[in-house]
Structures are given as C-alpha cells and as structure tokens.
Structure 1
Amino acid sequence: MILHAPHLILSLRCLVPSVFLMGSSTSYWVAATLLKLISLPFGGQRGRSLYHRMDQRLYSSMMAMFGYFFEHWSGVQYCFYGDPLPQTPESVIYISNHQSTVDWLIPEILCLKQGGFGGRVHYFLKKAVLYIPLYGSYLGTRHNIFLKKNQSKNHDWLKRKLLELGNTGIPVWLVIFPEGTRFNLSKPDKLRKSHSYAESLGQPKLEQVLTPHTTGFELTLETLKERFQAVYDITIIYEGKEGHSVRSPPPDMFGFYSGVCQKVHIHIKRTEVSDIPNTVEEQRQWLFDSFKDKDKLITDFISSGIVRGQTRSLPLPLSYTLPPVMAYGSVLLLMATTKHGRFFWLGALIFYSLCGYIAIQQKLID
C-alpha cells in the first residue's frame, strides 16, 4: 500500500480540481440564469448592461477558483519578466504564442493579478470549443468570437462580432492567438506548414513559434482601436522537470495539476495602442516582428535558462482565490450528499447541456 501512496496522491491532485471545475459548472449555469431573470425587468440596453456587469462578477468568481487550482494547488511557480502590469485595470488586446490548453487560463490569471475582473476576458476561439459540455455553450453567451475553418476570411461577419463586443460598454481583454493552432514539436507538419507560409510572405522561418496569421489582429484594430488602451504582447515558456535545456512538451490541464510543469515563464511587452502603426501593411509587420522576438526569447531560454529582463513574482492572494473554492465546494458537497441535491445536479446537467446543444444547432449562439 505504501508503494502505491505516491500514485494515489498524484491521482488525487488531478481528480480534486477536475471534480470541482466540472461539478461546479451546473451551479454556475443556475446562478447565471438567475442573474438573467433579475435583469429582465430593466429591459433594453439597461437590462443587458446590468446583466453583463453581474455576469462579470460571477465569471470572475469562477476564474478565481481556477486561479486557486492553477497557482496554489498545482505548486507551479510563475515568473514574470518585461513590462510591469499597470495597477489600474485597462482594456487591452492580448496576443500570445500558443502551445497548450493552459494558455487560455494565463490571461484570466493575469487579469485577476492586475486587479480586474476575470469576467472581462474574451477570446477568439475555434468553433469546436462550443461543444465542450456546459462551459462551451456558456462561453458562447459571453461575446467570444467563434471561428469555423476559413471563417476568418469573412471580414463583415468578424467586424459585426467585434462591434457586438465593443457595444457592451464594459472594459475588455480581447485574447488572440495569432498562430491559429498550438505549436507542437511532436507534429512536425505544423512547423513545415508554418515555414511554407512564412516563405510565401517573404518572412523568416521561425523554429520555436509558428508564423502568425494577421487577420484577427488587423480587423480588431480597424474596428475597435479606440476601444483599447494597450496591446499586451505575451510570450509563455513552460519549464518541465528536465530543466531549460530541453523544450518540454507543454502540459495539458491534468499534467499541470500533477506537477509535470515546474515553472511558467511569462514575458510581457506592453505597447500603447496609439503606438501601433495605422496601415495594414505596417500592422502585419509589427505582428511578424513580435513573433520573431518570441522565437528569440524561447531560443535564448533553451540555450541559457535565462529570460530577458528582471524576474518578479505577482502572487495571487489566497484570500481572493480560496473563498470561491469554499463557496462552490459547499454547494457541490450539498448536492453530492443529498438525494434531492444529486437529482437536481443531474437534472441541471442534462437540461443545460441540451439547451446549449439546441442553441448551437439553431445558431442562437454563433
């Protein structure tokens, strides 16, 4: 039994967050429905604005719970470099390299560390994300932009979705992963396609990131440039047990909980939106140059173990992340330990899953 203890502990490290995050999703949907009902009597734009503000706080509580598991529970060390985050929350375009499902949580955690609500973070996402049970359909209600293959070529549709986001009147972080897919050394075809794409554009071939696609960035600036104060140019490096000299396979969420990843290095470059070029050609080159710099940052880290700039920590206070865990955990425990609670949880799971699927099929969520 003693020999199996480490395996049991490892299993629990993965199981507990998974149970919390999936089990709490029904409670979250019920709470979101109640907020919608509360806002209905106000009607029109006033009702929508009230709902968005309440929903921001609800979503922020969920992200604070994610923050607890991804920072305090996992034991992963976060190291920050480059420009400091302003103490005052601001609306930003967030661009980053993309390697792992964990990448989606980094902007949420950064936004919380800045003192903003996690609920202000919105994404360009693949359409397939909509089909994740409960979470996918909920994300579809939050002004995220879901792209099918080749849909990025539909500029009118993209501009409409961006304007819908801009018209909420709420400060936002709009997250764009310009590579369009995850960088993965075990899939050399992706790198070969990236090299061919770079060659067709007359850009250098990159080895540690993929050549960025620029449409989302360009249209965001064209449609909503005055809506944002800055661009946050983020480079993420995951360091595993092997150390810096080997580029470790990026962890998935379960690997992150289990200690596969030892450190996350995050380099931040903040640029005022007013300093971003105005012409499309210059904006494209700005983004290409950004990814050339990311490629160099990662290459230098692999060879030296050093990320440019002074290391600093931005701890997420336990006093902020633990209360949502206790609140959601208490509701989950109540539902799990009573017959009526289990019946309600299962009924809510089926009901909201079906509603989400029907809404997607009827294109009520797109």
Structure 2
Amino acid sequence: MLLSLVLHTYSMRYVLPAAVMLGTAPTYILAWLGWRLFSFFLPGARFYQEMDDRFYTIYQSMVLFFFENYTGVQIILYGDLPKHKENIIYLSNHQCTVDWIIADILAIRQNALGHVRYVLKNGLKWLPLYGWYFSQMYLVIFPEGTRYNPELTKVISASQIYAAEQGFAVLKHVLTPRVKATYVAFDCMKNYLDAVYDVTVAYEGTVDQMGKRKEAPSMTEFLCKECPKVHIHIDRIDKKDVPEEQLSMKRWLHDRFEIKDKLLTEFYDSPDSQRRNKFPGQSTNSKLSLKKTLPSLLFLGGLTASMLMTESGRKLYVKTWIYGTIIGCLLVGIKV
C-alpha cells in the first residue's frame, strides 16, 4: 500500500507545474490585454511591442523554471550559439511536445525569449488561450511536419519511400523534411534575417536495453524528471548561404537533415560506447540561473493568487478562460 502511494506520488510530480502554467494563463492574458488597451493612447507601436515582448518573456521564463530548474535536467550544448540576439529561422528535428520548449531554452540564453514564435500544425491553433498567441523573431519551424516516433513504422516507411522517389538519401532517425513552410518563411523574412539556426536535439535515455530507440519523452514525462540530459547541436548558417529558389532550397534542406541523421546515428548507434549518447565536438553543460526564471514565477503566481482570493477576482478569472478561448478561436477562424 505504501509503495503504491509512493509510486503514485512520484508519477504526479507534473501536477504542480501543469497547474501553475495553466493556472497563470488567464492572469497573463489579462495583464497583456490591459497593456494593449493602454498602448492605444501612446504614440507609435514601439512601446506596445517592447512591453508585449516583456510580458511574453515573463510567462515563458516561468515555464522554463519548471522545465529546467524544477526538473534539474542537464542541457548539453554543442556547436555555435551566439551570445547576442539575432533574427533567425530555427529549424529542428521534431520528436515530442518538449521540442517547443527547446527553442525557448536556446532563446533565453540569447536574451531573445520574448521574440520566439512558432509555425504550428493547424489544429494547435485552437488550443484554449494559447493557440492564437503562439501562432503570431525567433521563428520556429519543424520541417518534418509531424513528430518522429520510432513506434510509428508506417509513417517512417512512407517518409523513406518519398525520399527515394525524390532521389534523396533515405534517412533513419529523422523524417524527410518538407520545404514549403521554410521556403515561405525565408522568402517573406529574408530582408530582416541574420541567420538560420539548424538545431538537432537528442533526449538521453530514449534507447531500450536492446539498443533500440524509444519514443522521446512527453511533457508529462519530462516534468516527472524522466529525462536526465538533453543534447542540443546548433549550426549557425548565415542567410547568404541559404538558397532562395524553392527547388534548390528543397535539396539544401534535405542535405541539412542528412547531417542531422548522421549526428543522431552517432548518438544512438555508435559502436564505440565512448561516443554514444553525445554529439561530436566540444560540449558545454549550460545551467540556467534561477535569476532568469524564479522572479517570473513569483510575479505571475502572486498576481494569480491575489486574484483568486476575492469573489470578483475569481469571476474575472473564470470569464477570462471562457471568453478568452472563444475570442481566440474566432480570431483564428478569421485568419484562416
């Protein structure tokens, strides 16, 4: 009985972070809305944009408190992550929902967290409160279009057949990338971009005892501290080195994913145990200071607690969930 209780408690470690992240969302939306209304009376859009980025940074910093400080995960960086903020397109392999957080993990290390936006699967735009805002320049794209899951053999097989039909190399640890979102984003933003970040992510502990790759951790599993290390390889590619014509970009993008596949093959399948579970080259164990995340947690948590302590505050809180979701869905519908 005691063992069952301990195991149940262990598995529920995600409840606190999930409750705080979801529970503070209406507070964040209200604060943002108040600023949005106030900014109408200010000259120019610069003041609004600066505070909009700041609000977004506060919320995402709170999220990172749980994904880094709370879980104690080690973030191992390889390659080139410039210390200064840049306007970039972020291209990454896609394995699980935690991949969204990896973009934030890199952005906060460049003081660019308030500028992260995502190209989402269409259905994700309908997430209550979140979907509309997340679909709004650290532009994150997952060119595979869906997650790589080693258990979905039909998806992997179809991707490999498509690659062969296109005359491309068949990939083992990633899916064949689709170029459309990358091409459109680059074509629209090339005059403002500094670079493309080609990011390859591997979650340690995703190989079984037989050496077979397993599914990457879900957000729940990650928050339950079931991922000891995340390995992140970054290649910075200057925008002048990215082909602008669509067919050339298609070939270039596949070549980049072929590089990812070789990195992941080394990580998962290397016959040398000393080279397994790491990417080639020098690595840095990058620990995020509590100064970057804890103040945001205390700020949003305190505002939310204050609101919930009064009857009028609780009513406003519930109405924000309801009407915020409805208005967000309507705005998404208008955009579509």
Same fold at TM > 0.5:
yes
Give runs of aligned pairs for residues 78-117 of structure 1, distance below 5 A. Answer: 78-83=75-80, 85-116=81-112
Give runs of aligned pairs for residues 202-281 of structure 1, distance below 5 A. Answer: 202-240=167-205, 245-281=211-247
Distance in 2, Cα, partners of 1:139 & 1:241: 28
Match of residue 60 from structure 1: 57
Question: CA 1:350 to 1:277, structure 2 compared with 1: closer, same or farther past 3 Å?
Answer: closer
Match of residue 260 from structure 2: 294
Structure richer in helix, relative to its length? 1
Match of residue 123 from structure 2: 128
List gaps (5 residues or longer) in structure 2. Answer: 270-275
Distance in 2, Cα, partners of 1:263 & 1:297: 16
Question: CA 1:135 to 1:221, structure 2 compared with 1: closer, same or farther past 3 Å?
Answer: closer
Deviation at 1:62, TM superposition (A): 0.6
**Of residues 317, 325, 333 in structure 2, which corresponds to 1:345?**
317
**Is the Cα–Cα contact under 8 Å of residues 93 and 230 in structure 1 kept in the other structure?**
yes
Distance in 1, Cα, partners of 2:35 & 2:12: 34
**Of residues 310, 317, 322 in structure 1, which corresponds to 2:282?**
310
List gaps (5 residues or longer) in structure 1. Answer: 144-171
2:154 aligned partner, one-letter code: D
Equivalenced residues, count: 329
Q: Helix, strand or coil: the match of 2:204?
A: strand
Match of residue 165 from structure 1: none
Match of residue 285 from structure 1: 251
Q: Helix, strand or coil: the match of 1:79?
A: strand
Residues 254-311 of structure 1 show CA distances to partners (whole Å, capped at 9, x for unaligned) of: 1110022221111111111122234433322221111011111111111223311112
**Is the Cα–Cα contact under 8 Å of residues 113 and 314 in structure 1 kept in the other structure?**
no
Residues 155-191 of structure 1 show CA distances to partners (whole Å, capped at 9, x for unaligned) of: xxxxxxxxxxxxxxxxx11111110111111111111
- Give aligned-pair identity as a percent: 36
**Is the Cα–Cα contact under 8 Å of residues 206 and 213 in structure 2 kept in the other structure?**
no
Match of residue 7 from structure 1: 7
* Larger displacement relative to structure 2 (315-324 or 278-287): 278-287
Deviation at 1:2, TM superposition (A): 4.0
Q: Does 1:357 align with 2:303?
A: no
Match of residue 51 from structure 1: 48
Match of residue 34 from structure 1: 34
Q: What value does the CA root-mean-square deviation take over the aligned residues? A: 1.9
Match of residue 139 from structure 1: 134
Deviation at 1:8, TM superposition (A): 4.7
TM-score by length of 1: 0.84
